[in-house]
Amino acid sequence: MEPETFAPTAPEGPNVARVYDYFLGGAHNFPADREAAARVIETWPQIRDTTRVNRLFLGEAVRFLAGEVGLRQFLDIGSGMPTMGNVHEVAQQVTPDACVAYVDHDPVAVAHSQILLASNPKALAVEADLARPEEILTHPEITGLLDLSQPVGLLLVAILHFFPDDTDPQRLVASLRDALPAGSYLVLTHATGDGQGRDVADAAEVYRRTTAPFQLRDRDQVTGFFDGTELVEPGVVLLPGWEDDRQRRATTAAGRLPVYAGVGRIR
């Protein structure tokens, strides 16, 4: 489906959700997004594999939570475009009664999601900002679908690197975590420069200049987002390999992509 169906006038500048959609091979993007994406790809060709593997991890984590853990509700913040491997598709395949609330601050991503979800009574998409977690937690559509007094899968996948330290992302994550009951889970991925060449840092700089604020973080910093949770084996690891490592109960960090991933059980 062409994005023009939803937004008759092309937006002025590139946008994170649509640039990401382009990396994933989707059709929901405009020339400004493709130009910004091309600049990042030029600096760092691995970005496409990275976004796809990140998306695969998201699916694996949701399958684990819906299947092995038995979660029935998911809050996906920074959900992006309704592209391959949507959370509700994965979760409802495991358990048809799973409810999913998608949240993004990009109106185009939300409009696409709402169209896709129109016939699904157990999934919805709302426009809200992670910078104001209390608005997410009290949003009437979200609280109408999810019972936030019961365990929830909180998904913050490939979003926190858009929050520089001066926006205090630790506090934002903590306020969501503290509002959810024990037995909820936090699923998170985050871009890193650990073990990478200069190209990843250069790509982050291009991203910052052309698209949005962007901050790489190291393993300790990413692990810090899991404060107040018990990490599921294998802990915070570089992708790909979370699922394999989980099966083997062992971690190997060599030759991985510049994205940390982890799942933690909220205490």
List contacts with ligand SAM (CB under 6 A): 16-17, 20, 54-55, 58, 77-80, 104-106, 109, 129-131, 157-159, 162
Closer residue to ligand SAM in complex, CB, 66/158 = 158
Nearest distance, CB of residue 66 and ligand SAM, angstroms: 17
Residue 234, preceding bond cis, omega within 30 degrees? yes
Nearer to ligand SAM, 81 or 232 (CB): 81
Q: Nearer Cβ to ligand SAM, position 158 or 180?
A: 158
In this structure, which long-range contacts are made by residues 18-23, counting pairs with CB atoms below 8 Å and at least 24 apart in sequence?
A: 18/81, 18/106, 18/108, 18/109, 19/211, 20/51, 20/80, 20/81, 20/158, 21/80, 21/81, 21/83, 23/47, 23/48, 23/50, 23/51, 23/52
Report, in Å, the least distance between residue 132 CB and ligand SAM.
Answer: 9
Nearer to ligand SAM, 79 or 221 (CB): 79
Residue 112 Cβ, how far from ligand SAM at the closest point, in Å?
10
Nearer to ligand SAM, 89 or 129 (CB): 129
Record the tokens describing residue 14, joined without a space. 């590139």
Three-state DSSP class for 45?
coil
Q: Side chain identity at 213, as an amino acid letter? A: P
Instruction: Specify whether the CB–CB gap between 190 and 184 falls below 8 A.
Output: no
* Distance from C-alpha of 240 to C-alpha of 105, rounded to nearest angstrom: 27
Q: At what angle do helices 31-43 and 198-210 cross, to 10 degrees?
A: 160
> Hey, what amino acid is at 126?
V
**Residue 144 CB, nearest approach to ligand SAM (Å):** 20
Provide, rounded to whole angstroms, the least separation between the CB of residue 250 and ligand SAM.
Answer: 25
Shortest spacing between CB 50 and ligand SAM, in angstroms? 10
Whose Cβ is closer to ligand SAM: residue 90's or residue 159's? 159
- Which residue, 180 or 261, has its beta carbon nearer to ligand SAM? 261
Strands 73-77 and 259-266: unpaired
Angle between helices 31-43 and 16-23 (to 10 degrees): 60
119: which 2 tokens? 């016939």
Residue 249 Cβ vs ligand SAM, minimum distance, rounded to whole Å: 25
Q: What are phi and psi of 131, to 5 degrees?
A: -65, -15
